[in-house]
């Protein structure tokens, strides 16, 4: 028996890590439910440990509104968002798999009523001021979201090329959205062809730019987390390219439809004018549009990346190193490729609209009239 005792002890020592690993591998039971603040027990401003930053900490008395513990009142600490009595929030309940102890923490504020209200206000404004055209636009918007949610996302997560999926879904959104909103006619068709051509050219430019700048697509924490969750099956450089294409659709749609309509209106006002005159006049209108949209696009990128820009602004790194960093270079590539695509959409769509909407030949127009119109265009271009 004494001889077996050392062997027994040695077996316990060897098996101890295995038991510990088995205990640690059992995940905690985590649920997220809604809860409501009954009372703010305490509130104080404290410094974040190791930093001079001040943060507000609260101790809340709250009632759980759903789940197995519905109706139970608890005390929970809050250092995420300042809450007041009556506020609803999402509560994380963590039940330990080791000893069954329960830990409560604030997950996030409950914002859905505000979001639903804003969406409702948006829909009302579109219907009141947009009329039938606005209603069609809402249908097109809903189809775009469905295409993204049910085609683009599942396709990328199932291993299909983000580049091909983005170009394909973007084309579907352009075609369906344009015809639903503006009807089946030559004007819409010319705008659709112009947008599809621009998307293809922009996609090629984005592909060359991303690979030329050696961008990996891992410029933020979200990409790293997604890569871990998908076991590295997604091409993140391609995903970056797809994001550029999808992000361009809004302003591209505006520019292309505007140019096609401009060509159509000019051809009706001046049916005697040759294609070259209509093209130059429509192009001048497009240049005004480009100036405004490029400015809007650049400012939108700055607004979306404002915290990032401020972080780099106060950084001690030199300007070249800052711009060269992937997180910054990604935004520059995104903004420049998107802006170039927008610029190309104007002449491309204008040319396609001219070819589709104007069937007469230039030779049918009096040369004196043509010369006069060209002089007017040149004068206008000179003033601008």
Q: What is the mean pLDDT of residues 85-90?
A: 92
* Beta strand pairing call for 29-47 and 54-64: antiparallel
11 domain residue, yes or no: no
Q: Do 171 and 44 belong to one domain?
A: no
Q: Do 37 and 181 belong to one domain?
A: no
First to last CA, the chain: 104
Can you tell me which residue has the tokens 């780099």? 312
CA–CA separation, 344 vs 365, rounded Å? 29
pLDDT tens digits, 342-351: 888 889 999 9
Quick one: pLDDT band at residue 222, thresholds 50, 70, 90? Answer: confident
20 domain residue, yes or no: no
| Helix axes of 275-304 and 236-269: crossing angle, nearest 10 degrees | 140
Work out the percent of the chain whose per-residue pLDDT is above 70.
85
Buried/exposed code over 57-84 (b: 16+ C-beta within 10 A; e: otherwise):
ebebebbbbeeebeeeebebebebeebe
Report pTM.
Answer: 0.70
Residue 375, pLDDT score: 62
| CATH number (domain holding residue 60) | 2.40.50
Q: Do 139 and 240 belong to one domain?
A: yes
Quick one: pLDDT band at residue 360, thresholds 50, 70, 90? Answer: low
Q: What is the mean pLDDT of residues 178-187?
A: 87
Q: Do 178 and 266 belong to one domain?
A: yes
Q: Do 68 and 187 belong to one domain?
A: no
Of residues 214 and 363, more confidence is placed in 214
Q: Which of 80, 110, 140 is the last residue of a domain?
A: 110
Q: Do 325 and 214 belong to one domain?
A: yes
Q: Do 242 and 317 belong to one domain?
A: yes
Q: What is the mean pLDDT of residues 274-298?
A: 80
6 domain residue, yes or no: no
Which range has the top average pLDDT, 31-40, 175-184, 209-218, 235-244?
A: 31-40
Residue 116, pLDDT score: 93
- With a cut of 70, say whether residue 275 has pLDDT above it: yes
- 95: which strand partners? 29, 102
How high does pLDDT run on average in the chain?
Answer: 80
Backbone φ and ψ of 101, nearest 5°: -70, 150
Q: What is the mean pLDDT of residues 189-207?
A: 89
Which range has the top average pLDDT, 295-304, 349-358, 365-374?
A: 349-358
Nearest to 191 by CA among 359, 358, 350, 360: 350
Q: What is the mean pLDDT of residues 25-41?
A: 85
Which range has the top average pLDDT, 20-29, 116-125, 140-149, 240-249?
A: 116-125
119 domain residue, yes or no: no
269 domain residue, yes or no: yes
Residue 372, pLDDT score: 60
Q: Do 96 and 195 belong to one domain?
A: no
Of residues 97 and 364, more confidence is placed in 97
23 domain residue, yes or no: no
CA–CA separation, 102 vs 75, rounded Å? 12
Report yes or no: 195 and 174 within 8 Å, Cβ to Cβ: yes
Number of residues in the chain: 384
Q: Do 56 and 202 belong to one domain?
A: no
Residue 374, pLDDT score: 57
Work out the percent of the chain whose per-residue pLDDT is above 90.
15
Of residues 144 and 377, more confidence is placed in 144
CA–CA separation, 308 vs 311, rounded Å? 5
268 domain residue, yes or no: yes
Nearest to 76 by CA among 33, 111, 117, 119: 33
Report yes or no: 57 and 47 within 8 Å, Cβ to Cβ: no
Backbone φ and ψ of 231, nearest 5°: 55, 35
- 88: which strand partners? 36
Q: Do 208 and 81 belong to one domain?
A: no
Quick one: pLDDT band at residue 5, thresholds 50, 70, 90? Answer: very low
Buried/exposed code over 363-378 (b: 16+ C-beta within 10 A; e: otherwise):
eebeeeebeebbeebe
pLDDT tens digits, 145-166: 898 889 988 988 888 888 888 8
Q: Do 360 and 307 belong to one domain?
A: yes
Helix (H, G, I), strand (E, B) or coil at 369: helix
Quick one: pLDDT band at residue 370, thresholds 50, 70, 90? Answer: low
Which two tokens mark 203? Answer: 């996609």
24 domain residue, yes or no: no
Q: Is 219 left (phi over 0), alpha (psi -120 to 50) or beta?
A: alpha
For 109-113, 206-210, 318-322, 360-364, which range has the lowest pLDDT when averaged over its residues? 360-364
Residue 25, pLDDT score: 55
Can you tell me which residue has the tokens 């404290």? 46
Residues 6+ apart with CB under 8 A from 251: 293, 296, 297, 338, 342
What's the structural domain count of the chain? 2
Q: Do 43 and 92 belong to one domain?
A: yes
- With a cut of 80, say whether residue 47 has pLDDT above it: no
Sequence-ordered alpha helix ranges (H) in the chain = 4-25, 112-147, 153-157, 162-182, 186-212, 221-229, 236-269, 275-304, 306-313, 319-324, 326-357, 367-383
Domain membership of residue 236 as a residue range: 130-383
**Residue 294, Cβ density class (10 Å: 0-12 exposed, 13-18 middle, ≥19 buried):** middle
Residue 107, pLDDT score: 87
Q: What is the mean pLDDT of residues 224-251?
A: 81
Report yes or no: 257 and 174 within 8 Å, Cβ to Cβ: no
Which two tokens mark 319? Answer: 């300007």
Which two tokens mark 345? Answer: 């959409």
Our CA dihedral for 230, 235, 240, 246, rounded to 10 degrees, sits at -80
- With a cut of 70, say whether residue 227 has pLDDT above it: yes
């Amino acid at each position: 028996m004494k001889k077996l005792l050392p062997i027994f002890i040695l077996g316990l020592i060897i098996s101890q890590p295995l038991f510990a690993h088995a205990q640690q591998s059992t995940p905690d039971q985590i649920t997220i439910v809604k809860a409501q603040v009954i009372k703010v027990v305490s509130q104080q401003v404290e410094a974040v440990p190791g930093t001079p930053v001040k943060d507000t900490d609260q101790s809340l008395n709250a009632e759980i509104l759903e789940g197995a513990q519905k109706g139970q009142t608890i005390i929970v600490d809050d250092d995420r968002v300042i809450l007041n009595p009556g506020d609803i929030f999402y509560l994380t309940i963590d039940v330990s798999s080791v000893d069954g102890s329960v830990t409560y923490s604030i997950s996030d504020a409950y914002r859905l009523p505000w979001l639903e209200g804003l969406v409702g206000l948006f829909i009302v404004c579109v219907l009141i001021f947009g009329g039938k055209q606005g209603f069609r636009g809402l249908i097109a918007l809903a189809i775009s979201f469905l295409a993204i949610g049910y085609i683009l996302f599942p396709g990328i997560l199932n291993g299909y090329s983000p580049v091909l999926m983005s170009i394909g879904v973007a084309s579907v959104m352009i075609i369906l959205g344009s015809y639903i909103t503006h009807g089946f006619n030559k004007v819409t068709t010319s705008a659709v062809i112009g947008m599809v051509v621009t998307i293809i050219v922009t996609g090629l430019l984005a592909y060359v730019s991303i690979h030329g700048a050696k961008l990996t697509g891992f410029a933020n924490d979200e990409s790293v987390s997604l890569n871990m969750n998908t076991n590295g099956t997604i091409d993140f450089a391609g995903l970056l390219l797809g994001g550029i294409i999808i992000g361009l659709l809004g302003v591209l749609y505006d520019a292309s439809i505007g140019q096609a309509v401009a060509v159509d209106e000019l051809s009706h006002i001046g049916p005697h004018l040759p294609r070259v005159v209509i093209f130059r006049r429509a192009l001048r209108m497009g240049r005004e549009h480009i100036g405004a949209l490029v400015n809007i696009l650049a400012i939108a990128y700055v607004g979306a990346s404002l915290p990032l820009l401020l972080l780099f602004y106060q950084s001690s790194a030199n300007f070249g190193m800052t711009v060269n960093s992937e997180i910054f270079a990604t935004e520059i590539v995104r903004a420049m490729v998107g802006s170039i695509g927008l610029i190309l959409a104007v002449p491309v769509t204008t040319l396609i609209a001219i070819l589709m909407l104007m069937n007469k030949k230039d030779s049918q127009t009096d040369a004196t009239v043509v010369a006069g119109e060209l002089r007017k265009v040149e004068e206008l271009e000179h003033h601008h």
